[in-house]
Structure formats: C-alpha cells, structure tokens
Amino acid sequence: MTEQQPGTIASWSRFAALAAALCLLFFAGSVTQAQTDDPFGDGSADPVKLFERGQNAHAHGDLLKALEFYEEAIKVRPEFAEAEFQRGSALVGLGRLQEAESALRRAMELRKDWSLPYSALGALLVRLNQDSDAESVLRQALKLDNQDNLALRMLADIRLRKGDAKEALELAHRATNDANAPASAWILRAMAERTAGDKVAALTSFDRVLQLDPANLSALIERAEIRLGDGDNERALADLKTAESLNKGDKATASRLAADYELAGKPDDAKRVAEAAGVTQAAPVSSDGTLKVLGTPEEIAAANSEDPAVSLKALENLLEKNPNNAMLLARLGVAYRTVDANRSLDYYKRAAAKEPANPDYATGYSSALVQARRFGEAAVILRRVIQVAPDNYVAHANLATALYELKQFPAAVAEYEWLLKAKPDLHVAYYFIATAHDYLGEYEQALEAYESFLARADATANQLELEKVKLRLPSLRRQIRLGQGVKQKSDTKH
C-alpha cells in the first residue's frame, strides 16, 4: 500500500506543490522593501546590494550562494526583515526546514504587519504535518491581508482535509477570484465542490484546472470519476487513458487508475495497468470469477478451524501454494495480531500491496500500524480508506487514535465526533474529545465534554478515565473562572 494522502492523487504531490508555492511567493513583494540608496558607497558592505545579489543567485537556482548573500546582508543590518524572509525561502529549498522555520518566525517578529512571512510559515508547517499550528498562522496572515493567495490555498487545503468542505469552498472561491490564480487554487475549489456534492461545479473547475495545466493527473482522474458516476463512460475513459499516459510509475496513481477502469467495465485494462505498475499480480480464478484457493478440502477446512493453532498452520501451508492470494495474507495478519505484531504487520502490508484498492486490507494494515505505534503512516493510509469507504467504522476509530497520538487534536476531535454519531454508546469518546480540547486550551469545551463523559461513563469499564477526570475538574473550573484558555465555543454540543 503506498502511503499517500487520501483522495488527491499524489495527494497531489503535495509537498512539491508547497515547495513550488513557497518559491514563487518568496520572489513576490519583497524586493521593493529593499530598494533604498546605497548609504555606504560600497556594494560589498551595503545590505541592499547584498540582498539583491542573493535575489539574483536565488533566481538562478544557486541556493547556497543566495543564502550566503542573505546572511551577509543580515550581519550588516540585523533588522532586515526581507533578507530573513528570503533566507527562509532558500533554507526551504535546501531542505533545512527547522532553520527555515526560525528564519520565517524572525521575519514575522521584525515586521508584524506583513502577511507574507505568516503565509509562508503556514505553508511550511503544513509540509511538516503541523496542521493545527499552520491553521493559526494562516488565519493571522489573512487578517493582515485577506487576499493573500497562498494563505487562502493552504487554509482551504487544511479545512478540506478536516472535512469542512463549506469553509474550504469559501476559501477556495476567494483564492480563484484572483485573475492569476494557479491551477492549485482551482483544484482545491474543485475538490471542495466535489466533496460538497456539487458535481456540475466541480466539473467546471476541473475543466479550468486542465486549461491551465493539461497534464494535471489529479484533475484528469477526479474528472473521470465524476463522469463515471454520471454514466459518461466514453469521456471518462478518454481522461483515464490520458492520465495513464502521464503517470510515471507511481503505484498509488496506478492503483486508482486500475480501480477506475474496473468501474468503467474495462477489467482487462485494469489488470494491465495494475500489473505494469507491480501493484497486483494475476491469481487463479474460478468459473464464477471469484479468487480460487489451491488446496485440498482438508487444508481448507483446517484453515477455517476455530482452533487458532490449527488454522494458523493451515493458512501458512495454503499461502505456500497461493503466494499471491491477498485474502490469505490478510487472514494471517488477523491470526498473528495478538501473537506476533511484526509478522501481523508484514502480512497485512503484503495483502494491501496485492490489492491496493481493497479498503479492508488497507484498514487491516493501518490498524496494525496503529498497534505498532506508527501513527503517522497509519493516518495517511486511513484517510485514503475513508475516502473510498466513508462509513468504515474501524478506519475512523483507528484514525481517531492515530491523530490523537500525533497530537493533531482538532482532527482527532472530528473523528471522535463521527464515531459518536455512528455509535452513540461509545461513551469513552467523550473522554478523548474532552482531553483533546484540554490540550488545546479550549477549557470551556473540555469541561462540557468531561461532564458528558461523567454522565454516561461506566464505573467499571471507565474507572481509570473517571479518576483522571475527577482529579482534573477542580483546577479546570478554576482556570475557567480566571478567564484562562481559548474562548472560542464549539459548534458541536456533546
């Protein structure tokens, strides 16, 4: 299973898109701030001259030389915000992301009313998977400049991934109001429109993306899927063939193309694409089209035994005869889960690799990743599963756990709230919602959720959590009385 963000192919090469956005941004708007006379009469000691040399090297792709000039300019003029800003840009390009973050924060300190360092830092934090911090910084950028296009796009992306299609669409609309809006702005708008159920608007926006960027894989496949849903197979197949010709061996894209060819009634094309990319292999099938397991009746019966020791050995024997059978691999993943976590993870991973489009195998693999505390990898896969199977309860439950452990608390809260809607008697979810709000300093929301948990929790099953809540509540109430914490009210009543 390729570990990629759900939904937007290559999610859609998200990190590359962010880097490109940063580089474009860093050459806009800062030069004019540095256009002053040379007070020294000596270019080597003039911070503006040094800055301009850095800009020139930067424009020609010599990032190390650019960084050297920016740093020399800052030595001469330590309060040179524009040089700090461009220094951050060069550091991003060099992959020195922690240093880049420091430079951008320094630029923000030096010019608190300038939106560009805020939006650039927000984009960098998104790249570092720090969505909560990124969102705060991007909202500040928009307070300073409500037309900051990068901030609009990055914030729309965050809101879309958090399931807030309404705000994502509003932000994307604002981004595309710019006559020079890039294809990335239009694709965000199209994705938000598709998520909101407005297929007609989404098709129009994907058309716009492909006018700006005819080779945009994400737009081609997303448009094909909408057309397939509308029964417009002829034009959908044309999009899929174009996308296939553009794909450079990316397995996630190949898996999606294969699944779409199946939906279009082209199983031969699906098989060809998948096998060419190495994401699946041919397996024997019976006359009714179902996957055949080669083995004796006795071996099959043993594999279905209720005795774990018997079934485990039989499954391993069958796998030797059917090495490409994803179902057997997944069964072994289940069998080894409580016996050998590492072997369980390996079997699930192999099953998901054989059939990347199967949400059950992907869910099993990601569940094993959660058990192994590899939360970041699990979250990536689970988001893809949920896009394909939005009502997959197990995927939502594991994603909630992964996001909580990753301290991505706003996104975790959204998942726990989904779980409560699906299963109202899952009372422990209130505890995790409460503690997430507590970590975020949203004390009033935390108190509300804690009280909901206390009113519903089982004294035996939730004994540990109940004790923690009772210890926390006195100090929490005191903090609220003192006016501490974030004051924003939750839209959701627990």
Q: For 34-55, what is each residue's pLDDT tens digit?
A: 444 344 344 456 889 999 999 9
Residue 447, domain member (yes or no): yes
Q: What pLDDT was estimated at residue 330? A: 81
465 is a domain residue: yes
Let me know if residue 368 belongs to a domain: no
Q: Which own/partner contact pairs does 200-209 have at CB distance under 8 Å and 24+ positions apart?
A: 202/226, 203/227, 205/176, 208/176, 209/183
More confident residue, 17 or 220: 220
State what percent of residues in the chain have pLDDT above 90. 44
Hey, is 78 helix, strand or coil? coil
Q: Is residue 439 in a domain?
A: yes
User: Using the 8-state DSSP alphabet, how is residue 293 labeled?
Assistant: P
Q: What is the 3-state secondary structure (H, E, C) of 36-96?
A: CCCCCCCCCCCHHHHHHHHHHHHHCCCHHHHHHHHHHHHHHCCCCHHHHHHHHHHHHHCCC
Mean pLDDT of 312-334: 81
- Is residue 455 assigned to a domain? yes
Beta-carbon contacts of residue 242 (< 8 Å; ≥ 6 apart): 220
Among the listed ranges 129-138, 179-188, 377-386, 398-407, which one has the minimum average pLDDT value? 377-386
Mean of the per-residue pLDDT values of the chain? 81
Report the sign of the C-alpha dihedral through residues 465, 470, 471, 476, in that order: positive
pLDDT at 295: 67
- The residue that leads in pLDDT, 368 or 119, is 119
Q: Using 50, 70 and 90 to split pLDDT, how confident is the model at 6?
A: very low
User: Does the residue 227 lie in any domain?
Assistant: no
* Alpha carbon distance 311, 315 (integer Å): 6
Q: Would you give the distance in Å from CA 436 to the centre of its chain? A: 20
pLDDT at 265: 79
Given a cut of 50, is residue 24 above it in pLDDT? no
Q: CA-CA distance, 373 to 486, in Å (whole number)?
A: 30
Domain count, the chain: 1
Contact call for residues 186 and 157 (beta carbons, < 8 A): no
Banded pLDDT at 21 (limits 50, 70, 90): very low
Q: How confident is the model at residue 290, as a pLDDT?
A: 40
Instruction: Give residue 471's domain range.
Output: 427-494
List of long-range contacts for 66-72, beta carbons under 8 Å, 24+ apart: 66/90, 67/91, 67/94
DSSP state for residue 294 in the 8-state scheme:
P
What residue has token string 């939106």?
115
> What's the confidence (pLDDT) of residue 291?
45
Q: Is residue 461 part of a domain?
A: yes
Over 70: is that where the pLDDT of 72 sits?
yes
User: Counting Cβ atoms within 10 Å, is residue 385 exposed (0-12), middle (13-18) or buried (19+)?
Assistant: buried
What ranges in 247-358 are assigned the alpha helix state H?
251-263, 267-277, 297-303, 308-321, 326-336, 341-354
Dihedral angle of Cα 210, 213, 217, 222, to the nearest 10 degrees: -30
Percent of the chain with pLDDT over 70: 84
Amino acid letter for position 162 = K
- Segment 338-384, tens digit of pLDDT: 667 678 778 877 887 777 767 777 778 778 888 778 888 888 888 88
Residue-level pLDDT at 14:
42
**Nearest residue to 131 via CA among 442, 385, 411, 380:** 411
Decide if pLDDT at 145 tops 80. yes
CA 321 to each of CA 164, 240, 352: distance values in angstroms, whole numbers, following the listed order? 48, 35, 19
Q: Yes or no: say if 73 and 37 are a contact pair by the CB < 8 Å rule.
A: no
Of 1-10, 150-159, 192-201, highest mean pLDDT: 150-159
> What pLDDT, on a 0 to 100 scale, did the predictor assign at position 176?
95
Q: Is residue 436 part of a domain?
A: yes
Rg (CA), the chain: 26
Please give the pLDDT value at position 35. Answer: 40
Phi-psi region of 441 (alpha: psi -120 to 50; beta: other; left: phi over 0): left
